[in-house]
Amino acid sequence: MHTLYDYWRSSAAYRARIGFHLKGVAYDPAAVNILPGKDEQFAPAYKAKNPQARVPTLETESGVLSQSLAILEWLDETHPEPPLLPGNAWARAQIRAFAYAICCDIHPMNNLSALARLRAQFGADDAAIAAWYLHWIGLGFAALETEAARRADSAFAFGDVPTLADVCLVPQMANARRYKMDLSPFPRLLAWDERARAHPAFVAAAPENQPDRPEKT
């Protein structure tokens, strides 16, 4: 069985978990506590697996693989049903563009180590960090919401079934909620997020349903 190095509140790991549950592929979760003070991602044994010191990391019989999008695409290629990237080349490119807007442009601005650097290098306090975090999510979501209006009738982000776009949207919405963001300017994203979160695969992958979630959160 595959081992997924994971942290319950990591949105990148959340993406990978959703992919496994959508595909119905079992994995062994191995918690890596990235909470400041725990810092298990920097332990030499973990860094030997993932020199970037981030989660998720997947360990298979072929070796180790980092990066949630690479893990998801590998899953999609090895277990084609149900497809994370359905449709023709153009349709698949549209889905990727939505997913990359989140994974490449929004999420890196909010990552733990980027926020820690703001504190260490520029002396940013909690309020400044929150403003930074919300700024980048707001900017990214506004663009996605504008683009979403073109598919206002779509049940999920791209059609009647969840795709890679929903896999990336839901964890980023969870991040926004963590920082108590007002999501009302993004009604279409909210509707897609709500529908996806009711799907059993998304329920199984949700942070609150992970074994390493501390009891009092």
Task: Of 141, 134, 213, 212, give the one whose Cα is nearest residue 170.
Answer: 141
Q: Which residues pair with 58 in a beta bridge?
A: 4, 65
Based on CB atoms, which residue is closest to ligand GSH, 12 or 206?
A: 12
Based on CB atoms, which residue is closest to ligand GSH, 11 or 94?
A: 11
The interface region with ligand GSH, picked from 48-56, 86-94, 153-161, 179-187 by CB under 6 A, is 48-56
Of 30, 111, 118, 138, the one binding ligand GSH by CB under 6 A: 111
Distance CA 201, CA 8 (A): 15
Question: By the 8 A CB rule, do 34 and 60 touch?
Answer: no
Of 103, 144, 176, 205, the one binding ligand GSH by CB under 6 A: 103
Asked if 55 touches ligand GSH (CB under 6 A), the answer is yes
Question: By the 8 A CB rule, do 28 and 3 touch?
Answer: yes
Based on CB atoms, which residue is closest to ligand GSH, 136 or 151?
A: 136
Distance CA 82, CA 126 (A): 42
The interface region with ligand GSH, picked from 19-27, 53-61, 125-133, 200-208 by CB under 6 A, is 53-61
**E strand or H helix that includes residue 30:** strand 27-31
Distance CA 101, CA 195 (A): 20
Q: How many residues bind ligand GSH (CB under 6 A)?
A: 16
Of 4, 8, 10, 166, the one binding ligand GSH by CB under 6 A: 10
User: Residues in the site for ligand GSH, rule: CB under 6 A?
Assistant: 10-12, 34, 41, 53-56, 67-69, 103, 111-113
